[in-house]
Amino acid sequence: FNQLKVSNYNIQLNNNDENHEIPPLNKEPPLKLLLLVEPTPFTYISGYANRYKELINHLKLAKDDVKIITTDVSANPPDSYEGYPITNLEGVSLVKYPQVKVSFDIKFQVGKAVNEFKPDLIHVSTPSVLGFVATFWSKVYGIPIVMSYHTHMVEYVKKYLHFPGAQTMAKFVIKTSHNLADLTLCTSPQLIEHMIDIGVNNVDLWPKGINTNIFSSDYKDDNMREKLSQGEPQKPLLIYVGRLGKEKQLHKLKNVLDFIPDCKLALIGKGPAEDDLKLLFKDYPQVYFAGEMRGIDLSQAFASSDIFVMPSDTETLGFVVLEAMASSLPVVAVAEGGIPDIITHNVTGVLAANDDKFIEFAKYTKQLIDNPELRITIGSNARKWAEQWSWEAATSKLRNIHYRKAIKNKKSRHESDINADILLDEIGQFYRPDLAF
């Protein structure tokens, strides 16, 4: 454990940076894109929701034609976004995560969409059931397919499925399914390394982005701080934003509160572990369960707090961490997953060991509470760093470089795997929507 000591951060990009040599957004001609996302980014609050909404916003600016297929558990799911049509599939909700619906597309709506829309490319989020559905139809019609991998599935399996061979099985499924794609995109270098280690080919990075107009210290609000601190705004205020799930390790924050009993903790979000967490913190009146927040309320929550805490060790990128940094809010996070890719320890945030009792995490948090100047410096450094990552640059690289690479890869795969394509075409005689419907 080391004493924190930072200085002002001078931003300097290097040639290996994600934003190096980004082409203009509309450099390549418009594409017809079939976008499949499970669960929906429009009503389900998740780390990737903003990524997909910003992607669609910028694809529209590039004049791409997009059709969206997703699953949604809300009573009145949207049927369009930014003028692009949305098909909401029937499906079943997960037992552990009732907010998440998965679909096997028993009505062949994905196949119908491929047949009628005739996309240049299919982009599907994984891990998802729709990933398998999209892969099948991409093979039947010979359409290039991109898979973007957003959840560290092996780590989730490790935490939730405790039977022999579970992790080995997860790795096999991930490897097999993603090697059917023409390109796999990951959201952090650490996740790319993981995919390569388990044998996935054709892996690249989907750059991060953040809207620094929406997330900014300008949204600081006394009323929001009053609410989150339960009427004691003078006390140090820690916040967490995200899903309340077992994999987020929120139970370890109990050790932080034991070490710093005079601080306040606001947990913003919902999830399957909420009842267990309320029971765990029943004797901790300083903990406030704020529920879900969106829009200006969320911007105000970030800007009105003192420290953002991220105890999770399964983050593939951690968009909420980016949002906190853009809000000039110092972050204390576990030094695992994709978080070390976005935080430079002692400069733009603080990285702590993932020990059982969270001793280092608690001590770093206490240091920031005791040193307002240190908090301001780290928060300022974090804001400068976040200002580099625009969604326009991220989308430009995706549509002009990654999508074109997938199309090129498909052409070479088609030439080398023509027997497999013929076989799948024969299978498709029984399932192709233009023949079956």
Backbone angles phi, psi at 287, to 5 degrees: -95, 130
> Per-residue pLDDT for 46 more than 80?
no
What pLDDT is stored for residue 1 in this prediction? 52
One fold for 32-209+391-436 and 217-386: yes
pLDDT confidence band for 123 (50 / 70 / 90) = very high
What pLDDT is stored for residue 12 in this prediction? 45
Higher pLDDT, 407 or 49: 407
Asked if 224 and 301 count as a contact pair (C-beta separation under 8 A), the reply is yes
Rounded Cα distance, 180 and 196, in Å: 14
What pLDDT is stored for residue 130 in this prediction? 94
Beta strands in 174-224, from DSSP E residues, in sequence order: 183-186, 203-205
Rounded Cα distance, 175 and 154, in Å: 11
pLDDT confidence band for 414 (50 / 70 / 90) = low
Higher pLDDT, 163 or 68: 68
Asked if 75 and 19 count as a contact pair (C-beta separation under 8 A), the reply is no
What pLDDT is stored for residue 171 in this prediction? 93
For the chain, domain boundaries: 32-209+391-436, 217-386
What pLDDT is stored for residue 436 in this prediction? 47
What pLDDT is stored for residue 318 in this prediction? 85
pLDDT (average), residues 322-341: 95
Q: What is the mean pLDDT of the chain?
A: 89
Fold of 217-386: Rossmann fold (3.40.50)
Hunting for tokens 């499925």 — which residue is that?
161
Percent over 90 (pLDDT), the chain: 73
Asked if 293 and 320 count as a contact pair (C-beta separation under 8 A), the reply is no
pLDDT (average), residues 80-99: 88
pLDDT (average), residues 422-428: 49
Strand 65-71, strand 32-37: pairing: parallel
Which residues are paired to 183 by β-bridges? 146
Higher pLDDT, 5 or 354: 354
Fold of 32-209+391-436: Rossmann fold (3.40.50)
pLDDT confidence band for 430 (50 / 70 / 90) = very low
- Count the alpha carbons within 13 Å of 181 in the hemisphere toward its beta carbon: 34
pLDDT confidence band for 254 (50 / 70 / 90) = very high
Q: What is the radius of gyration, based on Cα positions, of the chain? A: 22
What pLDDT is stored for residue 104 in this prediction? 87
Indicate the pTM of the whole model. 0.80
Backbone angles phi, psi at 288, to 5 degrees: -120, 120
> Per-residue pLDDT for 394 more than 50?
yes
pLDDT in tens, 256-307: 999 999 999 999 999 999 999 999 999 999 999 999 999 999 999 999 999 9
